[in-house]
């Protein structure tokens, strides 16, 4: 029994080595991009082959990383793929050839690809973000200007914690419209609400901040309304025309009474 297993292992090993040193008959008739041939040999110069190999390796590594959570292929794997491309006269600049070689060598066990579980185990474990907590302001001193500033900041912090559901809903509505303010833009809106003594638990406060801090995220109606607020010269007729609600004028004649 052990002899049979040893023979099978030897055959498998020989087959794996052959894939890296001899043309693979399983792809002989496939429509893959081949390198130009010279007099019985590869027509590429050593520099041509190196440059094309480097281009193909970069493209293949990028695609590999996309499907492996950003993990790059091993250098040893890239070398084996390069050997397979060379003995089969496959153009190393073609990423399709790299994918074909990778699939063939993986299926034959020449390349032992990393598993999804190994990727998951290698990824750092992130602590769950903790929800903001209320600050106990009952015992905070308020004698000096600095202490009073800290007390005001603590009060604002508690108000923001209490208002978080409203804030989350406001930005969720923006996201549903394809608008995605950055962290710094959100922080600027929050600062605007605070500096203008508005209530962060009211949607209207954030709408005002949006219009004044990041007007690029307004829709057409909101932008027009803001322009009207800023420009007293805009009339109701201009508004109707912009909104497409102006009524067409109807002309008619009155016959003279005889």
Co-location of 118 and 150 in the same domain: no
Structural domain count, the chain = 2
Tell whether the model's pLDDT for residue 5 goes beyond 50: no
Looking at the fold, whether 91 and 156 belong to one and the same domain comes out as no
* Secondary structure of the chain in HEC code, one letter for each residue: CHHHHHHHHHHHHHHHHHHHHCCCHHHCCCCCCECCECCCCECCCHHHHHHHHHHHHHHHHHHHHHCCCCCCCCHHHHHHHHHHHHHCCECCCCHHHHHHHHHHHHHCCCCCCCCHHHHHHHCCCCCCCCCCCCCCCCCCCCCCHHHHHHHHHHHHHHHHHHHHHHHHHHHHHHHHCCCCCCHHHHHHHHHHHHHCCCCCCCHHHHHHHHHHHCHHHCCHHHHHHHHHHHCCCCCHHHHHHHHCCCCCCCCCCCCCCC
Residue 171 domain-assigned (yes or no): yes
Residues 149 and 109 in one domain: no
Residue 233 falls inside a structural domain: no
Q: Give pLDDT, residue 229.
A: 60
2 within a domain of the structure (yes/no): no
Regarding whether 116 and 24 lie in a shared domain, the answer is yes
Question: In this structure, are 171 and 72 located in the same domain?
Answer: no
**Is 37 part of any domain?**
yes
Classify residue 253: in a domain, yes or no.
Answer: no
* pLDDT, tens digit (0-9, with 9 covering 90-100), for 62-94: 888 887 777 888 888 889 998 998 888 888 888
Instruction: Using the predicted structure, report yes or no on whether residue 214 has a pLDDT greater than 60.
Output: yes
**153 and 202 inside one domain:** yes
Domain end position, chosen among 190, 213, 236: 213
**pLDDT tens, residue by residue, 149-208:** 988 888 888 888 888 899 999 989 888 888 888 888 999 999 999 899 899 999 999 989
In a domain, 130, yes or no: no
> Are 50 and 89 in the same domain?
yes
More confident residue, 124 or 15: 15
pLDDT of residue 202: 92
The stretch 230-253 carries a mean pLDDT of: 51
How confident is the model at residue 252, as a pLDDT? Answer: 37
Asked if the structure places residue 5 within a domain, the reply is: no
Residues 149 and 118 reside in one and the same domain: no
Q: Which domain holds residue 180?
A: 145-213
Q: Give the pTM.
A: 0.41
* Domain contains 58: yes
Judge if 24 and 58 occupy the same domain: yes
pLDDT(127) > 70: no
Same domain, 103 and 29: yes
């Amino acid at each position: 029994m052990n002899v049979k297993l040893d023979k099978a292992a030897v055959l498998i090993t020989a087959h794996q080595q052959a894939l890296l040193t001899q043309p693979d008959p399983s792809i002989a008739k496939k429509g893959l991009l081949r390198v130009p041939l010279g007099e019985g040999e590869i027509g590429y110069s050593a520099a041509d082959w190196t440059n094309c190999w480097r281009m193909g390796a970069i493209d293949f590594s990028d695609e590999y990383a996309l499907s492996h959570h950003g993990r790059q292929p091993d250098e040893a794997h890239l070398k084996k793929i390069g050997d397979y491309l060379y003995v089969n006269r496959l153009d190393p600049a073609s990423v399709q050839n790299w994918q074909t070689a990778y699939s063939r060598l993986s299926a034959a066990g020449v390349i032992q690809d990393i598993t999804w579980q190994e990727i998951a185990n290698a990824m750092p474990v992130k602590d769950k973000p903790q929800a903001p907590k209320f600050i106990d302001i009952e015992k905070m001193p308020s004698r000096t200007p600095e202490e009073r500033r800290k007390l005001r900041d603590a009060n604002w912090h508690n108000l923001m914690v209490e208002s978080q559901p409203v804030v989350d809903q406001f930005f969720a509505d923006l996201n549903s419209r394809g608008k995605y303010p950055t962290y710094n833009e959100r922080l600027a809106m929050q600062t605007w609400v605070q500096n203008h003594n508005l209530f962060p638990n009211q949607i209207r406060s954030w709408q005002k901040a949006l219009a004044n801090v990041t007007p690029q995220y307004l829709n057409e109606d909101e932008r027009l309304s803001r322009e009207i607020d800023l420009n007293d010269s805009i009339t109701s007729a201009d508004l109707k025309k912009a909104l497409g609600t102006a009524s067409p004028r109807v002309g008619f004649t009155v016959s003279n009474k005889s």
